[in-house]
Structures are given as C-alpha cells and as structure tokens.
Amino acid sequence: MHYMPKLKTTLLFKVLISLVIIWCLFNLFFVKHESILNGGETSLTGHVLDYKFNGNLLKLTIKAKEKVIVNYYLKTEEEKKELEKTLGFNDYLILKGKLETPLGNDIPNVFSYQKYLEHHHIYYLFEANNLKRYPNQNIFFKLKNWCYKRLDNINNNEYLKALLLGVKDDIDNELFRENGLSHLFAISGMHISLFILILSKSKYLKKPKITLIFLWFYTFLVGFTPSILRSVLFYTLKTFNKLKVTNIQILILVICLMLFINPFYLYDIGFIYSFLISFGLLTYHFDQESKIKDLLKTSKFIFFITLPITAINFYKVNFLTILYNLIAIPLVSTILYPLALLTFILPIFNIIFDGFTTLFIFLNKLGENIKLGILILPKVNIFFWLIYFYLFYKAFYYHNKNYFKILICFILIIHFLPFITTKLNITYLSVGQGDSSLLVSNNLNNVTLIDTGGTYNYENQNWAKKKNINYTVNNIVTYLNSLGINKIDNLILTHGDYDHAGNTIDLLNKIKIKKVIFNNDDYNDLENNIINELNKRKIKYEKGIKTLKFDKGKLQFLNTKIYNNENDNSNVIYFNYLNYQFLFMGDAGIEKENDLLKKYNLKNITFLKVGHHGSDTSSSKYFIDKIKLKYSIISVGKNNRYGHPKDSVLKNLEDSKIYRTDIDGSIIIKFNKNGYKILTVK
C-alpha cells in the first residue's frame, strides 16, 4: 500500500508522455498546416505583435487573419522619427501592398528562414507601401509600450534591451555565439531565478502570489518565449504543488503542457536548450565542493549535454566555453543583470552599466581571438548523436572516467570523419544575383572557392542606412563547416565585379583563407581594398597563373589576351576529372568565347557554369554548339532586375540539361565509384 501512490503517479506520467508524443507526431507529420490567406491580398489589417527599425526598414509582425511579417520602407526621416516615437505593441494597422512567399533555403545545411516562419505559423511576407496607425487602447499593452519606450530613451541601450527583454537585434550576437555565451542573452531560467531572488529581498513583494504576478507580467513583456514560459510555468506549478510531486515531474508536466499547446516548440532551439539543461540539472547529482569547483562541474555538464544541439545547428563547438562560463555567468548574474534592472528604474546608473558592459565585450573579444578550443563537428547521421547521449549518460551519471574518455574520442571521430569519407564534390552555391562555386577534393585535401558573390547596397542617406548582416557569407561558412571544412586553400576571383568578389572581405573575417588568386588585368577599387586586407593578414595572393593543383589533377586558367572590359578579363577555369569536364566562365563575353575556341580544344564539356548569369552578352549559339555540353548551370538571382537568364540564351542551351540557382537552389555534383550524382536543394 505504501508504494501505490508513487506507482499510480509513475503510470499517469507514462500515459501522459505517450499521449503527448502521439499528439506531436500527429500534428507535425499528418496535419497539413497552411495559410488561410489566398495570396492575392493587397490590403491587410491587424494588431502589432512585434516591430523593429533598421535604417529605413520597419519590420513588423502583425496578427491579421493569421500572423504575417510586414516590411515597410520609410519614406522620410520625419516619418521614421514619428513612428519611432509613437508606434507600439497592439497598435492597429491598415496596410496596403502585396503578399510574397518567404525565400526558402537555397544553400544546404543552413538555417531556413522559410521553415522558421512556418514553425511559427507564418506563411507570407507583406511588402507594404502604405501604413495607417491607430493607437493601442489596452492597459496591459500601454504598460508594455511604456517599458520599451523607457529603454529606448536610455543611451546605448542595446545590452539593456538584450538582458532585460531578450532583444538581441543590436548586439554582436555572433561574437557571443563563437564563445558559446549567447545563452546569457536568452531570457530563461537564470533570469527568472535572479528576478525571484531580487523580489524575495522585499518585505512586501516576496509573497508567492505577488511574485507570480510580476513573473507573468515579465513573461508578457518579453513575448512568451518558450524558454521563459517553461521557467515561469515551472515556478507556478511548484508554488501550487498540492500533490507534492517531484521537481522532475513538474518539469515533465510543463513540457507536456507546452507541447500540447504548440507541438512546434520541438523546432525551437531555445526550448530544446532550456529543457535539456533543466532536465540535466534536476537529474544529475553534483558533489558539493567549493563554489568554483561546483560552477566548473556545472559548466562542464551543461556544455556536454547541449553539445549535440549546438553541433546540429552550428556545426562547431568551443570547448573553452566551459572556462568562459566561470567568468561570464557570475559577471552577468551578479553584476550586469541587477545593474540593468537598476538602470531601468534609475537611468543615472547607465554609466556604470555601460562600463561593465564594455568590460564584458572586451573579455569576449579576447576570447574570440583564441581559436584553440574550437572544433568543427560536421553534419552526421542522427544515430551518431544517439550514441553520443548514451556515452554521455554513462560518463556523467555513473561518474565513469573511462566512458568520458570514450566520449571525447567519439567527438574527435565525428570531427575527423570527413577527412576519411569525403569524395570529390562541386557545389554551385545559390548566392542571389552573383557567382560562387565550391570545389572540395577527396578527403578534404583541397578546398577551392571560385568567387564569393556579393550584393550592392543602394542606400545613400544616413538615416536610411541599415545594419546589414551578411547572411550569404554566414551561410557559405556554415555550409563549409557542415562538410567539416574550417579553411579555404584557394579563393579564385574570376574578376573584380562586386557580384563575384564583393563578399571577400566579410569571408576573410569568418574563415581562414590561405591564398587568393586574381585575374590578369589591372586591379580595380574593390580588388585594391581586398589586397589591403590580405596584406594586413599576411595572406598570399597572385594573378595571371596558368594552373593550380587540385586533387590528383589541376585547374587550368584559359588565358587569352587583355580586353578593354572587366567581364572579358574574367578568369575562365577548366577542370578535367576522370574525363568529366568542367568549365567555369565567370562573366566572359562572346568575344572571349571566340578567342577561347581558337586557342583551346574545348569539346564535350560535361558541366558549364554559364557565363554572366545567362546574359545575352555571353553563351553564343556558336560557342555552345562547339563545346557540346551536357549540363548548364546558371547562377542567377530570383526576379533579378536584369531579366537574367535571357530567353535567347536558354534557347542556345536547350540541348543541355539546364539547372538554375533561382529555381533549383544550390546544385551539388557528388562523385562516387559509379560516376556522379546531381543533387539540388529545392
């Protein structure tokens, strides 16, 4: 009889977990989730859920018939100032414009904005050209707007907003992610614990029910993000725990409740991190020692339990994070966060908060320069991570040092796997209206990138300048990391046009490049800027070469003469692998095509990277007929303003199989013992 209540509780939780698993599987894989909009709407009305200004772009999330992301380009500086002053949450908007489908994931193994929006039940973007605003009348949203406006009026408020509200748009999140510390700016259990601790010091606010009112209002302030929702729900259930169930059972109840409400939380990285860490800390037994040793053990445990999630999403981990947390967590929890709250109440303390923030950033930048602890962990089968968790469980929960050694060896096996298994592959990367092709040799012996892509910025006014994150470069580097690559041996720039070389400097900041190769003509302004950076970093560069070793063969540079335009001076590169012939044309035009045919014996080309994005200044019928190609790859941006590729060029290429990055996404040629396989992202 003594064990019956425990037995019933255990059985009840097993049934509950089983039902939630079935519910999630049913909703995620069998229920069709789609928009209730027809896609042709030219006007929308709805309430503001979220908003942010970036130069002359106002980006909003509104609740219309369903959630929609709205992009509205501000017309004047006066309009921007007015909306910055008056726009708030829950304002009612009337918008004119058109719906657009979010862009999908065009580079393999990287973050998909389209999927991200779908997991938040957002299926359309609305490009607005007219906006009318009616102020919010709800008292709770008035309080929320007051809090946000109060922070907006404090100078250098980026880190205040990040710490107090989880708004990370204006901080260098890449810096903290590289050091494994971005979790400190995700509103989660740590922030809630500190908030509760501060409230507990007050004679009148420490009562549980009053604390809960503050916590739920705070959750409302930060937008009910999954990590804080889990923390506050846990505290709420624990406060009213009449059944005296254990903390781990309360956590399971919270997870089940959240997944029942929204199964798509399973795709939220913040939810997964929060659950894993909470579950681990509640189930793992720590030997009580000194505070420093306890903090080190906790940091080590959290690092290893979340390592697979970090690797699956970012393909690299930083082992020094274990040590960084020893400094960062106390600094944030005992100094920065309390100071942020104090500054919100009394802005005069901002100068002190600013000083400690500067120190925190300085320490992170020091850590960023230390590359010793960073390990690339490429994309692997999910079974590898199941084995990892088994080894982790044995190593930590049984305090088994031998299993911990095996765990470290297993991580190294994942790291070195591409050096054993990689076969030669070539990826024509989708970089919009630009060019970038990645050549990876057997066993990663050589990694060569031909061009980087690049997007022009046409904004001139100071008030309209946007904070631009180079997503193309981030995606290229993430894709490289997912293949196990942490350096580029050769970067070949076909010529100095921005859409081919414009991302070079940003790429230099993200990944090691051993050598850069330019074309034959005089350096233009962009190329001179690149060379200045190369000289600063002591990176080799050269021009006018004839061949470059690659795998067991070589890349041949088909030089003709110097022309009077940048396009015809493009490096044209020929590569023969097992009698499969590749030709990369850059932006070479018809005159150069004719000269190439006169000088080189080009025929039976297997893969042609079509010149100049399918412009009719290249790919003449004479040239295409002579080279007798099998596959044509056109690197081109969706709905580009040049009208590429031209119909006449598509007509010239019609005897070949045509792939286009605007339609197919990135195109991957993978070689195997039977020849090759062509894969596309879309």
Which H helix or E strand runs over 28? helix 4-29
- How far is residue 246's CA from residue 279's CA, in Å, rounded to a whole number? 12
User: CA neighbours within 13 Å on the CB side: how many for 356?
Assistant: 20
User: What token pair was written down for 638?
Assistant: 């969706």
Q: Comparing C-alpha atoms, which of 346, 422, 434 is closest to residue 378?
A: 422
Give 525's contacts (C-beta < 8 A, 6+ positions apart): none
CA distance 12 to 310: 33
What was the pLDDT predicted at 5?
A: 42
d(CA 90, CA 138) in angstroms, rounded, equals: 8
Q: How confident is the model at residue 459 (pLDDT cuts 50, 70, 90)?
A: low
pLDDT of residue 556: 97
What six digits make up the tokens of 596? Answer: 């190439």
Prior bond to 308 cis, omega within 30?
Answer: no
Dihedral sign, Cα of residue 526, residue 527, residue 528, residue 532: positive
Among 13-27, 231-245, 323-337, 383-397, which is the least confidently predicted range?
231-245
What average pLDDT does the structure give for the chain?
A: 92
Ramachandran category for residue 641: left, alpha or beta (phi over 0 → left; psi -120 to 50 → alpha): alpha
In the prediction, which pLDDT does 4 show?
A: 37
Q: What percent of the chain has pLDDT over 90?
A: 78
pLDDT digits (tens, 9 = 90+) for 618-664: 999 999 999 999 999 999 999 899 999 999 999 999 999 999 999 99
Q: How confident is the model at residue 591 (pLDDT cuts 50, 70, 90)?
A: very high
Mean pLDDT score, 366-383: 92
Q: For residue 384, what pLDDT is reported?
A: 97
Q: What is the mean pLDDT of residues 436-452?
A: 97
Give the pLDDT mean for 391-395: 97
Closest to 111 (Cα-Cα) out of 421, 600, 469: 469
pTM, two decimals, is 0.93
How sure is the predictor about 8, in pLDDT bands with cuts at 50, 70 and 90?
A: low
* Strands 515-518 and 490-492, sheet pairing: parallel
Model pLDDT, residue 197: 81
Give residue 247's identity as a one-letter amino acid code: N
Q: Which among 76, 78, 69, 74 is positioned nearest to 57, based on CA atoms?
A: 74
Average of pLDDT values for 523-544?
96
- Ordered by where they begin, the domains of the chain are 43-137 (2.40.50.140), 146-379 (no CATH), 384-414 (no CATH), 420-456+467-680 (3.60.15.10)
pLDDT class for 294, splitting at 50, 70, 90?
A: confident
Q: What is the pLDDT of residue 3?
A: 37
Place 458 in a pLDDT band, splitting at 50, 70 and 90.
low
Structural tokens at position 280: 């681990």
Backbone angles phi, psi at 556, to 5 degrees: -105, 130
Instruction: Give the confidence band of 93 by pLDDT, cuts at 50, 70, 90.
Output: very high
Confidence band for 117, pLDDT divided at 50, 70 and 90: very high
Q: Is a pLDDT exceeding 80 seen at residue 140?
A: yes
397: three-class secondary structure by DSSP: helix
pLDDT band at 9 (very low <50, low <70, confident <90, very high): low
- Decide if pLDDT at 466 tops 80: no
Report d(CA 283, CA 65) in Å as an integer. Answer: 43
pLDDT category of residue 246 using cuts at 50, 70 and 90: confident
Does the pLDDT at position 460 exceed 60? no
Share of the chain above pLDDT 70, in %: 97
CA 550, CA 570: separation in Å to the nearest integer? Answer: 20
Per-residue model confidence (pLDDT) at position 203? 73
Q: Give the residue-averaged pLDDT of 173-181.
A: 86
Long-range contacts of 327-331 (CB under 8 A, 24+ apart): 327/363, 328/181, 328/184, 328/360, 328/363, 329/184, 329/190, 329/295, 329/299, 330/295, 331/356, 331/360
SS3 316: strand
pLDDT at 220 over 50: yes
Average pLDDT over every residue of 4-12 = 59
**Closest to 392 (Cα-Cα) out of 275, 276, 310, 301:** 301
Residue 196: predicted pLDDT: 82
379 Cβ contact partners less than 8 Å away, ≥ 6 residues apart: 109, 312, 315, 482, 483
